[in-house]
Amino acid sequence: MTPYSRMGDGRAVLRSSVREYLASEAVHGLGVPTTRALALVVSDDPVMRETVETAAIVTRMSPSFVRFGSFEHWSSRRQPEPLKTLADYVIDRYYPQCREMPGGAPRDDGVAVLNLLREVTRRTARLMADWQAVGFCHGVMNTDNMSILGLTLDYGPYGFMDGFRLGHVCNHSDTEGRYSWNRQPSVALWNLYRLGGSLHALVPDVDGLRAALDEFEPVFTRAFHERMAAKLGLAAWQVEDEPLLDDLLKLMDANQADFTLSFRRLADALAGQRSAFEDLFIDRPAAGAWLDRLLARHAQDARPVPEVAAGMNRVNPLYVLRNHLAEEAIRAAKTGDAGEIDTLLKLLRNPYEAQPGYERYAGLPPDWAGSIEVSCSS
């Protein structure tokens, strides 16, 4: 047993390793900041979980694996010297601009730490906008799973939504819905406050720490609106677009419409193929009425339809790593067949462009996909 894995054996199994290997490459293909996967190695060593499984190792790549929790570790032990050593290391190696002082003023370590918190807050806010825009749920957003560089880190019980739910929970162990899709931004801000609290030992300026954290909401909101405007094919976000987006999400939630395909097929609807979008909804008249509102909004922009549709397809993916696709790759890998992993990597590294012959990877999930459950051991 090792104390670094909740008194477990410290081993990974093939099942979870395939999911992690594919996930980081899928998220990278979507243009979302993430750690990367270099290699997946399988062993014949038996590992006991609910049943006996096969061991595996994923080699992960990242500029840094420092997390919010790395700072909490020293702060909670009331050890300011190692905490300062860690902060100086992160600033000097990854955020040297945080040392810059206006007018050539002398170095001020307190100001540098405040600048660090501000930059991490901004990066995390933009990352949350990215997650929300592609329907990605992390599953376990504790401070040890939050990257100091604003990267998607530690793929455990993650999930890309199929049928949309505002309160979708991808982690079977999350019975209270703490990490549901619509709560991810607020959880990220909570974690940033924990980081800020840890840095308080180095910076007594509470107002300065709060001012840095206050940047989260405007940065997230602006980034989210920019991404959603692009997904809807709008030239630029306007305040009046808020009800249009809200009503779409409510409509998708009420009908459990597929998240990825609902946005992807908007380009087809714009080009006259309304049924491609409306077919995803049980309440087709409501979907059609909302679509009329979007088309009227597009008329205000007065941009060429082919140009707009092409732009929408550049930001609305056709392929995402759905749970059933990952499960199929896992089942094949257990027999020694890595072909499905290779196929998924090919598609997920270029998720916006349709690949002839791979239509099933872009379709609605099969009925059995609804029975897949993922948890922290997945």
Pairing between β-strand 36-48 and β-strand 12-13 as defined by DSSP bridges: unpaired
> Which neighbouring-strand residues pair with 54?
46
Place of tokens 């702060």: 75
Q: What residues are labeled active site?
A: 144
Question: 3-state SS of the chain?
Answer: CCHHHCCCCCCEEHHHHHHHHHHHHHHHHCCCCECEEEEEEEEEEEEECCCEEEEEEEEEECCCCCEHHHHHHHHHCCCHHHHHHHHHHHHHHHCHHHHCCHHHCCCCHHHHHHHHHHHHHHHHHHHHHHHHHHCEECCCCCHHHCECCCCECCCCCCEECCECCCCCCCECCCCCCCCCHHHHHHHHHHHHHHHHHHHCCCCCCHHHHHHHHCCHHHHHHHHHHHHHHHHHCCCCCCHHHHHHHHHHHHHHHHHCCEHHHHHHCHHHHHCCCHHHHHCCCCCHHHHHHHHHHHHHHHHHHCCCHHHHHHHHHCCCCCCCCCHHHHHHHHHHHHCCCCHHHHHHHHHHCCCCCCCCCCHHHHCCCCHHHHHCCECCCC
Tokens linked to 267? 């380009």
What is the distance between the alpha carbons of residues 23 and 325, in angstroms, rounded to a whole number? 11
Q: At 139, phi and psi to the nearest 5?
A: 105, -40
Query: Taking Cα atoms as reference points, which of 53, 58, 110, 105 lies closest to residue 87?
Result: 110
Query: Taking Cα atoms as reference points, which of 325, 28, 5 lies closest to residue 152?
Result: 28
